Structures are given as C-alpha cells and as structure tokens.
C-alpha cells in the first residue's frame, strides 16, 4: 500500500481564483492511500518544494500527487523534488487543475468539483505506480550533416570547432548550396561569394570535417547516440584524391552543349565539369548522361589531357558505412516549378525568368558576366516588372502553389529592384505585391530605400496575365490602390517563385523517422521551445528544410542546431526515458501490428526460446522494444491485439484506474 | 460503346455543324452518342448562388437520365459541359443543394452525382485515346498551324472540371497533333472571349475577342480551333480575320468525312 501525499497549489490566484483549494485538499484527504493532504500558494517555489520534502520525511510518503499546472510546465521540477526527498521521481503524478480546470471555468463550484475529480484520478494512478529507472546507452562522438549549403556548412563548422568530427553529405559535386548562386545579400548588399567561399575553404581545411560530395544518404538505422548510416558516394569518374582541379579537362571536353545547372540552364557546360571556380572540393565530375566515353566508349579526351591521371571511367558507386551520434538535416529548399503558372508565360518567353535566374544574370560569375541582359536577344532591358508571391500565399490554388508565405521574396525583390536602379538608372522598375513583408533587423529600412531613394514603383495588386508580343512582354495587372487595370510593356519579367523543401527531404525523413508537415518541411519538436530539434531523438534541423528562411536566420538556426549536437556528443552516456513500451513475451503472438505502427522504428522481432510443459522448449517470434529508441508514444499498446504491449508509467491498468476514479 | 449525349440548345440552332461533325466522328471511333430524351436547356451559365436551384434542375434531370441508363454523359458545348459538371459536383458535395434538388425531382431513387460527366475532348483522350484517333486519320492536316482556343469556361474552375491544367493546358493541342497538324501555343488561348458581356457591353467584348485573335495571329496561326459556340460567335462577330473552326469539324476533315456531314 502506498503512502501518498497530496499537494494542492494555488498558483497565486490562477488556480485559487476559480478552485476552492482548501476544499480540494480536504476532499482528497480521504482517498485510498492518502496519508497527508495540504495546499500552498506556490508549490513550485523553493518554500513549496521544501514543504513537499519535509512532508515526505514526516509522513514516510512513497508517492506524491501535485495538483497544479500542466505536467509540461513543472513535472520535471516536482520529479527533482521527489528525488531530493529520497523517493523515485516516477512516483510523482501531476493533476492539471490549471490549464484543464481553473483557466477554463468561471464557476467556483464547478471548478472545485472538477479539480477534486482530477485529483482523485491522479491518486488512483499513483497507487499503481512503480519506481522506474532510466537506462543508459553510449554515444558515438561523430555527427552527420546532410546537406552542404550555408546551413550545413555553419552547423559542421560549429560542431568541429567544439572538437567533434563531422561528415557533410552533399548530393551536388560541390558544397555551397543556393548561397553560392546568389550575387548579393540583403540588407547589407555584401557579396554572397565573399562571405560564403571562405567558409567553404574553412570546411575543406578543417581536419575534423570530411566532405562526401556527389553523395547521398542511402540508409539510416539505429537511434540517438548510435546511428548506423550508409552513404552512397556516386561515381564521378574522377579520382578525388588525385584531381588537382586544374580544369584542363573541362576546356578540352568536346561535349559543349550540356545545360549548366549552376546557371540554371542559361548557358552550357561540358560533360566533365567543375560547377564553379570556387567549388569545394575543387575536383572535376563527369556527367554520365552526357559523356561520350561513358555512353559509347568513344572519346577519352579528358583522360589524355589529365596530367595527374585522375580520370577513371571504370569508377563505381561506393557505399560507405559510418556510425554517428547525431544527425542534422540541412537539405534546404528549391524554387517551385513555374510550369503550372503559364499565365506568366514562363515557358513561352525566355525573358520571363525566376528570381534565382535573375541572381545568376547579375552575378559577375554568371552567364552574362554580371551584365543585366535579356536572355532572348542579349539586349539591355529598360523596363522590368517583378511579380511577387508567384505560388506563395496561394490558398485558392493549392494544387499548383503553396499556401504559406515564402518569407524571403519581399526582401530579395527589393534588393533586385534597388540594385537594378543603382546600376542602370535608365531602367524603370515595377514591383507587383500582395503585401510587403519586411520584418527583421534593418529590413524595412532597406525596402523603404528601394521606394524612396531608388524610385522603384511598388504596385499593390497581382498580375493576371503576361503575354509576349513582339519583343515586349505585355504585363496586365491590377493597381488596387488606384482601382485601375494596368498594362505594362516590359522588356523583362522576374517571378518571385515560392520556395519548397528539396525533394530529397521526404525520403530522408522516412529514413530518419523524423516527422514532416503537409508541405514537407521538417517538424520541430516544439515550435517555440525546441525549434532546432526534430521530435525524433538525435535528429536536428538546420536551415530552410524546417521552413522558409533567409541567410541570417539560417545561420542562427545552423549554429543553434550545432549547439544541440555538441550538447549531445559531449555526453558519454545518454539517460533514456524509462516510460517506454515493454512487451509481455508470454502474451505476444508475433503478429507485427506494433512494429507497423511504431513511428520510431523501435520495435523489432526476435526468436526466443520458451520453456513449455513437460520439460520441452519452443522457439517463438516475439516483439522486442529498444528502450533507447522508444519515445513512449503508446501507439503500439493500442495496436497490440493480444494486450501484450504496455507502456511503463502509463500501464493499461493505471489508465483504467484513472478512468474509474473519474467515473465513480 | 454507347454514351448519353447532351447536345444543348445552341447545337440545335446556331451550331448545328458542331453537333453533326461530333456525331459522325464518334461513329468512326466506334462510339454511339445516344441523345437523351426531352433534354432542356442547361441554363446557360452555372449560377454560383447557392439558393438558386431552378436553372440547375434540367441538368440534374439529364444527369439522372444517364445514370438510369448506366452511361457516361457527354457534351460538346463548353457552356453545357461546365453547367453539367458543376451541377453534378454540387449534387455530390453539397448536401443541402442535393436534398432540395431531389425534393423537386421526386425520383424513385435520389440522384447524388453518380453519373460520370465527360466533355467530348475527354472522351477522345481518356476513353478512346488520342493514339486511336490518330489511327483513323486518312487526311492528315500536314503543315496547318492551328491555335487551340480554350476560352474561360472549358477548364475552369479546375477543382471541379478536373480536365486539364487551366493555365497550361494540352488537351486540344494533343488532338491537333493527333490529326497531323501543328499546334501553335499563344498567350491568350485560355482567356475569355467576352462571353455574354457582348449583350451588355459590346465594346468590352470586342476588346477581349480581338486580343485573342491578334494573339493567335501573332503566333502565326492559320486557324483558331474552339469547342464553344459562344467563343466562335464572339471572335467572328468582332472581326476575326482568320477562320474560327470547331474541333469536331477539323476532326471530320482529317477523317475524310467532312462532305458526308454537310450532305
């Protein structure tokens, strides 16, 4: 029989205002197992905690019920109090009489009655509580960062700085991501390459960091502190350790007409290529879909001109297996396809471009060497229309766009408009917008400068139709402030396409058993209090894979994720949560129902030998829960048809006892 | 294969040839269009007013007629098709509307949107297949540059019509290519011709129509191809100086049966 103490908290007037706390503590005094019951103004304060500790000693308590706020708020606090008083922390139950009672009721009588019922339920549960001890597991002191954009780079650098080895896996031949394609960054207008490329070099030179470029994560097994990961290093047909990046092969290759993805197809590269001059690692890669040698065995020119002898046409994909303690998803974003937005004539005219293409057109290393020229005829455009929110905030057209705000477009469009007016003052610039959203340090000032100093014409309204006529683009839109329909004969139109998570994120989330929202952005463990952690232990989130973000925000989040990883890797052992599922092997019939519903991959099946009557044995397939992976969600306990699965701390009989107490 | 056919008023008056070619071509493709009995005008436009029910009942009757025969309901006119599909959608999704309509109809079994509504173009694409259409071509329209004109009603609202991408459609272009001609893509192919505004404000309708015609001409089209009698009327009345032709007529030409239809 337990000896239970009940502690009713007033929470100032938060609870005491609508609940008669004195009546509650009196009423609960006579519940089975209760030997002591009291109330106090702030139970979480030091004095309140001391009251609990002293009562435990005085009344030899074995269980504690605190009637207070939500367990999310102070369960951990009172568990510590219990431990300090010398009883098992899992002998504490919280009856939430604040969020679920006093805050939602106005009538003192009803509130008090409900608080008593909630208290009775918690007491019924504590009567069946058993002390629980968390398990321990070791930590592999190495981190994996998936994605080598600015988010992945910053996370890796910060983890390496703390002394832990990090591997970056990047699908492209170079790290750098979207930021490497950008010309200038808002709101300071400093050159993106000048701040990014030194970081890329830092990554390359850091002996704690390994880069697996042109590689993909193929498989993830294991759990926090102990992930087993398979990385596929795709054949690049160039020996990475020998190639010096001299680039002779990329000049001699006869296949000259391969669309250059780094410049978004606005110019061509060769079949053997280095994406850009500052690429890291600076080694060539052969595109197997374009290379004559690989397709038909005829050519071999690059091997002939390579003085280092780095070309290897027989190279095969390689699988690397490595153990990690923590994994960071930094898979980034892409602009959405404009195929379904043909009202903007993106597929009909070369002079309708996306904002990222505009970045390349104004970038000194881009296809026009930084001169703003029309893709169709190479002429300087004199009238440019920017259209914002193309596919963003697209509630009525969810099948082609996104419901959310892409967040970065207002600022980069202001940047594009301002830079155009600065460099080419003879150019008229129009921006169509739904709203201009520029919160952020020095952001709104930046936008005001575009309007006031650079005379960019901001028009509130959307564009309905763009039609190429001759060498002009007729842009029809509405000016809502003047209540007029406008037609602008533009030379160039720039579409601020919505951004979406990279396509690799969804399969990766499945491998990591990390959850995603309906838009395929990774979900954070708590939107406010745990924004860089995935709900899956040991998986962290960095950058735009978690939601649309600009560079400053991405870098902040990247460093935050790194701090969380460092905190994890700094531990030698991990203390688990003892409230995990457990299978009663004698009742388990090996049906796999629990394995199928487990969102964390914590359940496996083992063949076990059981003693049978008459000194015989039998081998049976039974469920086995890995307590380090189990998050205690309880899905398996519901799915189990034979009632073999139970959740420690939330045993079926405890839940039933609570329900009985409420219904009595 | 037999399908129920809803020709609509215009196909019996102004657009008799749209109807005649449609029937003949269907025969060639092994489809029998069974005109439903005692059909009435579709109502002309689908009113978005939820309490407006009278003008939608003739559609419900036609839809139920097809249901009783266990056939798909096919129409050719963009406007009829639009009203039929939207009414059917309302019968499926709007409980209040469906129960009121059924109260009027007093059917033995309530109609709840069971009938499959197909535009003739969908019939060609999804039931017959454009590859089969191409097989029947005896007179390929080689060298002809044809501008498909969708207008506004054929594909919108997309969530209900579910026929093709309303901003970047391909269904008529695919038909044009199946018939051996060249499809011309131009920006105004899915804009409104002016529609019934022609009655209220002819100048506005004229402006809309001319934009379409000029856009097609700028793309060097020889012919504008449409499914909609009202589009054809507006474009022609407002000075189209290139032929505006029904897609069924073009198909008849490619099948080599155009003269039979006229006879």
What's the rounded Cα separation, in Å, for the pair A74 and A126? 17
Q: Search chain A and give the residue with CA nearest B217.
A: A469
B184 beta partners: B147
Q: Tokens 């029910």 label which residue?
A: B53
Looking at the structure, do residues A274 and A160 belong to the same domain, yes or no?
A: no
Pick from B167, B215, B218: which is nearest to A342 by CB?
A: B167
Cβ within 8 Å of residue A33, ≥6 positions away: A1, A2, A3, A4, A63, A123, A126, A127
Within the 137-176 window of chain B, which residues sit less than 8 Å (CB to CB) from chain A? 158-159, 165, 167-168
Looking at the structure, do residues A355 and A402 belong to the same domain, yes or no?
A: yes
Torsion angle of the four alpha carbons A215, A221, A223, A225, in this order, in degrees rounded to the nearest 10: -50
Task: Write out chain A residues lying below 8 Å of B167, CB-based.
Answer: 340-343, 400
* Displacement of CA B68 from its chain's centroid (Å): 23
The packing angle between helices A192-205 and A150-161, to 10°, is 40
Task: Write out chain B residues lying below 8 Å of A348, CB-based.
Answer: 185, 187
Alpha helices by DSSP H, listed for A363-408, are none
Is residue A657 classed as helix, strand or coil in its secondary structure?
helix
Domain stop point among B62, B86, B121: B121
Residue A662 lies in a domain: no
pLDDT tens figures, A434-445: 999 999 999 999
The CATH number for A368's domain is: 3.50.50.60
pLDDT tens figures, B142-187: 999 999 999 999 999 998 999 999 888 999 999 999 999 999 999 8
CB contact under 8 A, B187 and A340: no
Looking at the structure, do residues B94 and B191 belong to the same domain, yes or no?
A: no
pLDDT tens figures, A587-637: 999 999 999 999 888 899 999 998 888 899 989 999 999 887 888 989 999
Looking at the structure, do residues B114 and B186 belong to the same domain, yes or no?
A: no
Residue A429 lies in a domain: yes
CB contact under 8 A, A399 and B158: yes
Give CA separation, A649 vs A31, A41, A655, B135, B153, in Å. 21, 29, 10, 71, 61
Structural domain span for residue B67: 2-121
The vertex-A468 CA angle with A464 and A469, nearest 5°, equals: 120
pLDDT tens figures, A523-541: 998 888 889 999 888 999 9
pLDDT tens figures, A370-429: 999 999 999 999 999 999 999 999 876 677 899 999 999 999 999 999 999 999 999 999
**Which site among A338, A340, A342 would you substitute to test the B interface, given the most B Cβ atoms closer than 10 Å to its Cβ?**
A342
Task: Tell whether B215 lies on the interface with A, counting CB pairs under 8 A.
Answer: yes
What's the rounded Cα separation, in Å, for the pair A475 and A663? 67
- The DSSP letter of residue B116 is P
With 0-12 / 13-18 / 19 or more C-beta atoms within 10 angstroms meaning exposed / middle / buried, residue A618 is: exposed
What's the rounded Cα separation, in Å, for the pair A405 and A393? 5
* Displacement of CA A378 from its chain's centroid (Å): 41
Residue B260 has a pLDDT of 73
Task: Write out chain B residues lying below 8 Å of A487, CB-based.
Answer: none
What mean pLDDT do residues B124-139 have? Answer: 96
Q: Nearest-CA distance from B167 to chain A in Å?
A: 5
Pick from B168, B185, B215: which is nearest to A340 by CB?
A: B168
Looking at the structure, do residues A11 and A90 belong to the same domain, yes or no?
A: yes
Quote the percentage of chain A above a pLDDT of 90: 90
Looking at the structure, do residues A14 and A28 belong to the same domain, yes or no?
A: yes
Looking at the structure, do residues A565 and A591 belong to the same domain, yes or no?
A: no
Task: Write out chain B residues lying below 8 Å of A470, CB-based.
Answer: 218
Looking at the structure, do residues B110 and B234 belong to the same domain, yes or no?
A: no
Looking at the structure, do residues B65 and B162 belong to the same domain, yes or no?
A: no
Q: How many residue contacts between A and B have a Cβ separation below 8 Å?
A: 30
Residue A152 lies in a domain: yes
Domain stop point among B89, B121, B153: B121
- Nearest of A635, A634, A658, A656 to residue A647 by alpha carbon: A634
Task: Tell whether B41 lies on the interface with A, counting CB pairs under 8 A.
Answer: no
Cβ within 8 Å of residue B217, ≥6 positions away: B241, B242
Q: Search chain B and give the residue with CA nearest A338.
A: B168
Q: Is the dihedral of CA A198, A201, A207, A212 positive or negative?
A: positive
Domain stop point among A461, A483, A500: A500
Looking at the structure, do residues B106 and B12 belong to the same domain, yes or no?
A: yes
Answer yes or no: are the C-beta atoms of A450 and A419 closer than 8 Å. Answer: no
Task: Tell whether B191 lies on the interface with A, counting CB pairs under 8 A.
Answer: yes
Looking at the structure, do residues A482 and A379 belong to the same domain, yes or no?
A: yes
Structural domain span for residue A506: 135-181+189-231+319-332+502-575
Terminal alpha carbon distance of chain A: 21
Give CA separation, A660 vs A30, A113, B68, in Å. 17, 16, 55
- Nearest of B205, B224, B204 to residue B214 by alpha carbon: B224
Q: Is the pLDDT of residue B263 over 60?
A: no
Confidence band of B111 (pLDDT split at 50, 70, 90): very high
The tokens describing A653, both together, are: 């009989």
Looking at the structure, do residues B54 and B106 belong to the same domain, yes or no?
A: yes
Looking at the structure, do residues B69 and B109 belong to the same domain, yes or no?
A: yes
Confidence band of B262 (pLDDT split at 50, 70, 90): low
Domain stop point among A283, A316, A349: A316
Looking at the structure, do residues A359 and A494 belong to the same domain, yes or no?
A: yes
Q: Search chain B and give the residue with CA nearest A345.
A: B187
Domain stop point among B121, B147, B163: B121
CB contact under 8 A, A342 and B191: no
Question: How many CB atoms are located within 10 Å of the residue A461 CB?
Answer: 18
Domain stop point among A108, A126, A144: A126
Looking at the structure, do residues A20 and A70 belong to the same domain, yes or no?
A: yes
Confidence band of B45 (pLDDT split at 50, 70, 90): confident
pLDDT tens figures, A118-130: 999 999 999 999 9
Q: Beta strand pairing status for B244-246 and A215-223?
A: unpaired
Q: Beta strand pairing status for A492-497 and A383-390?
A: parallel
Is residue A472 classed as helix, strand or coil in its secondary structure?
strand
Share the mean pLDDT of chain B: 93
Q: Nearest-CA distance from A520 to chain B in Å?
A: 22
Give CA separation, A191 vs A194, A241, A359, in Å. 5, 31, 12
What mean pLDDT do residues A300-308 have? Answer: 95
* Displacement of CA A234 from its chain's centroid (Å): 25
Looking at the structure, do residues A488 and A535 belong to the same domain, yes or no?
A: no
Looking at the structure, do residues B85 and B22 belong to the same domain, yes or no?
A: yes
**Which site among B148, B167, B191 would you substitute to test the A interface, given the most A Cβ atoms closer than 10 Å to its Cβ?**
B167
Residue A395 lies in a domain: yes
What's the rounded Cα separation, in Å, for the pair A327 and A144? 5
pLDDT tens figures, A58-111: 999 999 999 999 998 899 999 999 999 999 999 999 999 999 999 999 999 999
Pick from B165, B187, B191: which is nearest to A345 by CB?
A: B187
Answer yes or no: are the C-beta atoms of B14 and B44 closer than 8 Å. Answer: no
Task: Write out chain B residues lying below 8 Å of A469, CB-based.
Answer: 215, 218
Task: Write out chain A residues lying below 8 Å of B220, CB-based.
Answer: none
**What's the pTM value of the predicted model, to 2 decimals?**
0.80
Q: Is the pLDDT of residue A554 over 70?
A: yes
The tokens describing A609, both together, are: 């030998």
Q: Tokens 């005094």 label which residue?
A: A29
Task: Tell whether B218 lies on the interface with A, counting CB pairs under 8 A.
Answer: yes
- Nearest of A645, A505, A651 to residue A584 by alpha carbon: A645
What's the rounded Cα separation, in Å, for the pair B199 and A239? 74
Looking at the structure, do residues A447 and A484 belong to the same domain, yes or no?
A: yes
**Which site among A346, A348, A467, A495 would you substitute to test the B interface, given the most B Cβ atoms closer than 10 Å to its Cβ?**
A467
Pick from A340, A467, A468: which is nearest to B167 by CB?
A: A340
CB contact under 8 A, A467 and B187: yes
Question: How many CB atoms are located within 10 Å of the residue A568 CB?
Answer: 21
Task: Tell whether B204 lies on the interface with A, counting CB pairs under 8 A.
Answer: no
Q: What is the ipTM of this complex?
A: 0.77
The CATH number for A279's domain is: 3.30.70
Task: Write out chain A residues lying below 8 Å of B187, CB-based.
Answer: 345, 348, 465-468
Residues of A with CB under 8 A from a CB of B: 339-343, 345, 347-348, 399-400, 465-470
CB contact under 8 A, A342 and B215: no
Confidence band of B261 (pLDDT split at 50, 70, 90): low
Q: Nearest-CA distance from B50 to chain A in Å?
A: 19
Question: How many CB atoms are located within 10 Å of the residue A604 CB?
Answer: 12
Residue A430 has a pLDDT of 98
Looking at the structure, do residues B81 and B137 belong to the same domain, yes or no?
A: no
The tokens describing A295, both together, are: 């397709």
What stretches of A348-418 adopt beta strand conformation (E)?
352-354, 383-390
Long-range contacts of A443-448 (CB under 8 A, 24+ apart): A443/A186, A443/A187, A443/A411, A445/A187, A446/A186, A446/A187, A446/A411, A446/A414, A446/A415, A446/A418, A447/A410, A447/A411, A447/A414
**Which site among A338, A343, A398 would you substitute to test the B interface, given the most B Cβ atoms closer than 10 Å to its Cβ?**
A343
Q: Nearest-CA distance from A379 to chain B in Å?
A: 22
Cβ within 8 Å of residue A268, ≥6 positions away: A256, A257, A258, A259, A260
Pick from B167, B186, B187: which is nearest to A341 by CB?
A: B167
Looking at the structure, do residues A423 and A532 belong to the same domain, yes or no?
A: no
Task: Tell whether B259 lies on the interface with A, counting CB pairs under 8 A.
Answer: no
Q: Structural domain tally of chain A?
A: 5
Is residue B224 classed as helix, strand or coil in its secondary structure?
strand
The CATH number for B231's domain is: 3.40.50.11810
Looking at the structure, do residues B111 and B21 belong to the same domain, yes or no?
A: yes
Radius of gyration, CA atoms only, chain B: 18
Confidence band of A340 (pLDDT split at 50, 70, 90): confident
Q: Nearest-CA distance from A428 to chain B in Å?
A: 24
Looking at the structure, do residues B156 and B214 belong to the same domain, yes or no?
A: yes
Pick from B165, B168, B218: which is nearest to A469 by CB?
A: B218
Task: Tell whether B187 lies on the interface with A, counting CB pairs under 8 A.
Answer: yes
The CATH number for A43's domain is: 3.40.50
Quote the percentage of chain B above a pLDDT of 70: 99
Looking at the structure, do residues A122 and A31 belong to the same domain, yes or no?
A: yes
Task: Write out chain B residues lying below 8 Å of A467, CB-based.
Answer: 186-188, 215
Residue A213 lies in a domain: yes
Q: Beta strand pairing status for B2-6 and A539-541?
A: unpaired
Looking at the structure, do residues B137 and B210 belong to the same domain, yes or no?
A: yes
Task: Write out chain B residues lying below 8 Å of A464, CB-based.
Answer: none
Q: For residue A136, which phi and psi values (nearest 5 degrees)? A: -130, 150
What's the rounded Cα separation, in Å, for the pair B96 and B102? 10
Q: Structural domain tally of chain B?
A: 2
Task: Tell whether B108 lies on the interface with A, counting CB pairs under 8 A.
Answer: no
């Amino acid at each position: 029989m337990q000896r239970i103490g009940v502690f009713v908290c007033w929470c100032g007037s938060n609870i005491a205002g609508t609940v008669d706390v004195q009546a509650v503590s009196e009423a609960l005094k006579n519940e089975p197992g209760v030997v002591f019951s009291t109330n106090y103004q702030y139970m979480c304060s030091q004095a309140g905690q001391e009251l609990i500790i002293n009562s435990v000693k005085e009344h030899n308590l074995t269980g504690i019920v605190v009637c207070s706020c939500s367990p999310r708020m102070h369960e951990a606090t009172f568990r510590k109090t219990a431990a300090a008083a010398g009883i098992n922390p899992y002998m504490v139950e919280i009856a939430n009489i604040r969020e679920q009672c006093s805050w939602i009721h106005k009538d003192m009588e009803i509130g008090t009655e409900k608080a008593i019922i909630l208290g009775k339920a918690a007491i019924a549960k504590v009567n069946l509580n058993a002390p629980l001890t968390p398990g321990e597991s070791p930590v592999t002191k190495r981190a994996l960062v998936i994605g080598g954009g600015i988010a992945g780079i910053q996370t890796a650098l910060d983890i390496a700085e703390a002394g832990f080895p990090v591997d970056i896996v990047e699908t492209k031949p170079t790290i750098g991501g979207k930021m490497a394609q950008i010309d200038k960054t808002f709101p300071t207008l400093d050159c993106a390459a000048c701040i990014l490329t030194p970081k890329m070099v830092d990554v390359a030179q850091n002996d704690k960091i390994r880069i697996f470029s042109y590689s993909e994560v193929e498989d993830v097994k294991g759990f926090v502190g102990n992930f087993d990961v398979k990385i596929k290093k795709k054949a690049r047909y160039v020996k990475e350790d020998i190639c010096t990046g001299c680039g002779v092969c990329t000049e001699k290759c006869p296949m000259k007409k391969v669309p250059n993805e780094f410049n978004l197809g606005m110019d061509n590269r060769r079949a053997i290529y280095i994406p850009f001059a500052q690429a890291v690692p600076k080694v060539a890669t052969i595109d197997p879909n374009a290379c004559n040698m690989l397709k038909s065995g005829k050519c071999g020119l690059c091997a002939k001109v390579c003085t280092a002898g780095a070309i290897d046409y027989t190279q095969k994909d390689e699988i690397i297996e490595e153990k990690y303690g923590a994994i960071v998803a930094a898979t980034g974003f892409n602009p959405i396809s404009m195929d379904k937005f043909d009202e903007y004539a993106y597929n009909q005219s070369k002079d309708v471009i996306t904002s990222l293409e505009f970045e390349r057109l104004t970038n000194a290393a881009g296809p026009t060497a930084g001169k703003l020229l029309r893709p169709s005829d190479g002429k300087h455009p004199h009238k440019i229309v920017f259209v914002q929110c193309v596919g963003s905030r697209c509630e009525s057209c969810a099948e082609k766009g996104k419901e959310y705000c892409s967040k970065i477009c207002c600022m980069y469009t202001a940047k594009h408009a301002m830079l155009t007016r600065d460099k080419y003052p003879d150019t008229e610039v129009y921006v169509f917008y739904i709203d201009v959203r520029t919160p952020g340090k020095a952001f709104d000032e930046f936008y005001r400068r575009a309007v006031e100093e650079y005379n960019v014409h901001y028009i509130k309204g959307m564009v309905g139709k763009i039609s190429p006529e001759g060498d002009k683009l007729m842009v029809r839109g509405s000016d809502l402030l003047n209540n007029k329909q406008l037609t602008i004969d533009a030379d160039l139109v720039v579409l601020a396409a919505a951004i979406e998570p990279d396509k690799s994120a969804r399969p990766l989330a499945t491998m990591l058993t990390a959850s995603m929202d309906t838009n395929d952005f990774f979900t954070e463990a708590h939107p406010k209090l745990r924004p860089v952690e995935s709900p899956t232990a040991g998986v962290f989130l960095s950058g735009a894979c978690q939601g649309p973000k600009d560079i400053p925000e991405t870098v902040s989040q990247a460093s935050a994720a790194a701090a969380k990883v460092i905190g994890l890797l700094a531990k030698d052992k991990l203390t688990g949560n003892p409230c995990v599922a457990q299978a009663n092997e004698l009742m388990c019939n090996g049906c796999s129902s629990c394995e199928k519903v487990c969102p964390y991959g914590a359940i496996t099946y083992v063949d076990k030998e059981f003693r049978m009557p008459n000194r015989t044995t039998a081998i049976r397939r039974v469920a086995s829960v890995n307590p380090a992976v189990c998050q205690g969600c309880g899905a398996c306990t519901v799915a189990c048809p034979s009632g073999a699965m139970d959740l420690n701390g939330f045993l079926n009989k405890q839940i039933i006892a609570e329900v009985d107490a409420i219904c009595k | 294969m037999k399908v129920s056919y809803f020709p609509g008023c215009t196909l019996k008056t102004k657009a008799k040839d749209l109807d005649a070619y449609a029937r003949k071509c269907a025969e060639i493709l092994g489809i029998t269009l069974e005109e439903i009995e005692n059909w009435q005008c579709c109502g002309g436009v689908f009113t978005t007013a939820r309490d407006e029910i009278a003008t939608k009942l003739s559609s419900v009757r036609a839809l139920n007629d097809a249901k009783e025969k266990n056939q798909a309901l096919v129409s050719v006119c963009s406007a009829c098709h639009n009203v039929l599909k939207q009414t059917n959608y309302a019968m499926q999704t709007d409980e209040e509307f469906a129960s009121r309509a059924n109260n009027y109809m007093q059917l033995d079994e309530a109609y709840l949107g069971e009938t499959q509504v197909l535009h003739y173009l969908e019939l060609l694409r999804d039931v017959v297949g454009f590859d089969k259409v191409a097989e029947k071509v005896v007179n390929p329209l080689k060298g002809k540059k044809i501008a498909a004109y969708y207008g506004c009603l054929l594909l919108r609202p997309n969530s209900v019509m579910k026929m093709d991408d309303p901003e970047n459609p391909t269904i008529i272009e695919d038909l044009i290519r199946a018939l051996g001609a060249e499809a011309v893509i131009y920006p105004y192919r899915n804009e409104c011709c002016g529609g019934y505004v022609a009655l209220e404000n002819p100048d506005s309708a004229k402006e809309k129509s001319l934009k379409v015609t000029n856009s097609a001409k700028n793309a060097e089209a020889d012919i504008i191809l449409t499914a909609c009698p009202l589009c054809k009327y507006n474009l022609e009345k407002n000075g189209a100086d290139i032929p505006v032709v029904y897609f069924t007529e073009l198909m008849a030409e490619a099948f080599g049966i155009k003269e039979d239809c006229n006879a």
